[in-house]
Amino acid sequence: MLGGLILLTITVLWGDVQADWPSWRGPRTDAVVRGFPVPEALPATLNQIWRKEVGGLRVAGGCVRRRLSFL
């Protein structure tokens, strides 16, 4: 009984966390930005805000599904 109560509590709390998490391509997964005024034109130059140096070996992650591998 205690195990069931713990499982129920985790399920309820996890569902609440998932409800607030923005998914891929936005909260509605439709790649639409709502409530953002689109500028008429972009500036001629852009200011760099941040930069991160990435050194060493550059490796892409892979994915294996059954007998297929994707890189």
Q: Among candidates 26, 5, 8, which has minimal Cα distance to 16?
A: 8
**CA dihedral sign of residues 32, 42, 50, 62:** positive
29 CB-near residues (< 8 Å, 6+ apart):
23
Q: How do residues 38-68 score in pLDDT, each as one tens digit?
A: 889 988 998 999 998 877 776 666 777 777 7
Quote the mean pLDDT of the chain.
Answer: 75
Judge contact between 25 and 31, C-beta under 8 A. yes
Cut 0.85: pTM above it: no
Q: Taking a C-beta distance cutoff of 8 angstroms, is the pair 69, 62 a contact?
A: yes
